[in-house]
Structure 1
Amino acid sequence: MSVSYVVTGGGRGIGRAVVERLLRSGGPGVKVSVVAVERDAEALAWAGGGVVPVVGDASDEAVVERAADLAQEAGALAGWVNNAAVFRDASVHTSSTAEIRALIAANLDLAVTGCAVAVRRFLAAGTAGAIVNVTSHQARRAVPGSLPYSTAKAAIEGLTRALAVEYGKRGIRVNAVAPGSVATERYEEFLASLGPEGAAGIEEEMARLHPLGRVASPAEIAAAVAYLLGEDSGFVSGVTLPVDGGRSVLGLDPEGQDRDPATVWE
C-alpha cells in the first residue's frame, strides 16, 4: 500500500519537520511519499528517499497541480499541508494600500490555492482526505508591525472553518495549527545576528511570553500536524489547534507597546 502527502514550504523549518515526520508515519507494509513544494531549490538539497521535490511558487496553481499529480503517481493522496508563508510586514501609515493588500494576498493565496487543489483531488478520487493549514498565534493576537501577516492568517483560519463545513460530508477534514515562536533556521539566524547579549535578551523575552518557558522546536509543530492528518483525529474538523506553549492564553504579547517589530518573533 502506498500513500502520499503534499507539503508546501517543505524545504526549511516547520515544513521540513512536517515532511520528515510524515515519512515516518507509515505502518507495516505502508510506503509513504511526500511531495515538498519549495520556491528555493537549495532548500530541498537535503531531500532523500521518499521526498519528491517540486520547485516553484505554492500560490501558482500550475505548480500545485503538478505537485498533486506527482503525489498521486506515488500513492493515494491522504493529506495536504499548507505551510508556505511570506514574512514581510507593513503599516498603514507608511505603506500604500496596494502594498498592504498585496502582502495579505501573498499569504492568503498560498492557502487558498493549496486547499482548492487538495479538495478537487480528494473529490475526483472519491476518497477521504485531510488538510492542515499552518497559521499563527498572531491570527488572534496581533503584535506591532504584523498587520498583513496577522490579517492573512486570520483569514486562513476562517477558510479552514468554511471548508470543514462545506466538505465534511464528503469525508474531507480541514484543520489548522497555530504555532507560537518556533526555533526555525530563520529564528536561529536572527539570534546569531544580534550577538550573544542581544540573543540572550530575546530568549529571555521568549521564555516570558511562553508559559512553558521556551520556544517550540519545528518537530513539536510537525507532531501536531501529523496528528491532525492521522486516523486518531478522525472526528476533528474545523478547529485551529494552538501549539504555542500557552502563549496565546497567557496573553503577555507586547500589544500596543512602542517597540521595533523586528524584535517581536513569530
Structure 2
Amino acid sequence: MELLKGIKAVITGGSEGIGFAIAMAFVKNGADVIIISRNKDKLQNAKEKLSVSGQNIYPICYDLSNLSEIPNLVKEIHLIFEEVDVLVNNAAMTLFDKVENIKPQDLAKIIELNVQSPYVLTQQLLPSLVNTKGNIINISSYFSHRMIPGRYSTAYSLTKGAIDAFTKSLACELGPKGVRVNAIAPGSVKTPLFNAAMRKMKKEERIKFEESVKTIYPIGHVGEPDDLGGIAVFLASNQAKWVTGSIMSIDGGLTTN
C-alpha cells in the first residue's frame, strides 16, 4: 500500500544520511520529492538512486545557511510543485566540544543552519502547507534532553532543544489551520555526520563510546538511516492524522535510562 500516493514533499539534507533514507521511504510509498543539498554531486547520486522508484525526483542545490535567499529557493520549489504537502526539516550540522572552546562564529553558524534555516523555510512554505492541510516533520535529536558523559554537546543540544520547542509551539499555532507538526528525535545513527564525529574522537574516546553503546542502548547498537524512514512515512500520512506536537524518540531505547 502506498501511504503517500500523490504527496509532494520537500526534504532538506536529502542527498545522504537520514534525509536520503526518508526520501527513499517516501518515494517507495508513492510520493514525489524535492531533495535539497548544497553538494551537487551528492544530489545527482541521490537522484539516480531514488529514481528507480519511478516517482518524480527533483534535486535543488542550495546552501540553507544562506537565509536571505530562502524566499528565492521557495520560488524555485513552487516552479516544480504548485503546492507542497510535506516539509521535512532535516539539514543540520553537528558541533561537539567543551563549552569554553566554542567560538562565537561557530555558535552563530550552527544556530543559523539548525534553527534559523528551518524556521525561515517553514515560514516561506507555510501558505502552501495551509492550502494543502499538510504537515511538517522536524528532525531533532536525543541530545535535546539526554546527555552522554564525555560528549560535549552544549551547542548542538541548544539547537535541538530549540527544534523541540519550535515543533510544539508551531503545532499549537497551526493546528486550527489543519497543519500538523511533529519531530523525530533519533539516537545515534550511522550518518556521514555521525561518522565524521567519530573520526574526530581520540582512539580511546571512540573505544569507550563503542563499549558504552552495548549498555546504554537496550537494543545494543546504534541505528541506521533506514530505521527512520518508516516513522517519517507514518507521520506524513493520514494514518497520523491525529498526531501533532509529538517528539518521537526513535533511539533503540537509549532514552529509557
TM-score by length of 2: 0.83
Maintained 8 Å contact 2:44/2:59:
no
1:15 to 12, 19, 23: 19
Task: Provide the secondary structure at the position in 2 that maps to 1:54.
Answer: strand
Query: What is the 5 A alignment of 1:94-109?
Result: 94-97=101-104, 99-109=106-116
The answer for the alignment partner of 1:35 in structure 2 is 34
1:62 to 71, 93, 97: 71
Q: CA deviation at 1:58?
A: 2.4
The answer for the alignment partner of 2:142 in structure 1 is 137
2:172 to 165, 168, 182: 165
Q: Counting helix residues as a fraction of each chain, which structure ranks higher? A: 2
Q: Which amino acid aligns with 1:134?
A: I
Structure 2: which 5+ runs fail to align?
none
The answer for the alignment partner of 1:115 in structure 2 is 122
The answer on 1:3 being equivalent to 2:7 is yes
Maintained 8 Å contact 1:57/1:63:
no
TM-score by length of 1: 0.81
Structure 1: which 5+ runs fail to align?
27-31, 251-266
Maintained 8 Å contact 2:71/2:124:
no
Identity of aligned residues (%): 27
Task: Provide the secondary structure at the position in 2 that maps to 1:93.
Answer: helix
Per-residue displacement from partner, 1:122-176 (whole Å, max 9, x unpaired)? 23xx221010000100001234421111001101111111111111111100000
Q: Which amino acid aligns with 1:133?
A: N
Distance 1:202 1:92 in 2: 20
Maintained 8 Å contact 1:41/1:55:
yes
The answer for the alignment partner of 2:44 in structure 1 is 45
The answer for the alignment partner of 2:160 in structure 1 is 153
Distance 1:194 1:150 in 2: 18
The answer for the alignment partner of 1:253 in structure 2 is none
Change (3 A) 1:136 1:198: closer
Change (3 A) 1:80 1:159: same
The answer on 1:235 being equivalent to 2:242 is yes
Structure 1, 110-119 or 11-20: larger mean CA deviation: 110-119
Distance 1:33 1:70 in 2: 14
Distance 1:63 1:213 in 2: 45
Structure 1, 14-23 or 83-92: larger mean CA deviation: 83-92
Query: What is the 5 A alignment of 1:51-90?
Result: 51-59=57-65, 60=67, 61-62=70-71, 64-66=73-75, 68-73=77-82, 76-90=83-97
Maintained 8 Å contact 1:10/1:16:
yes
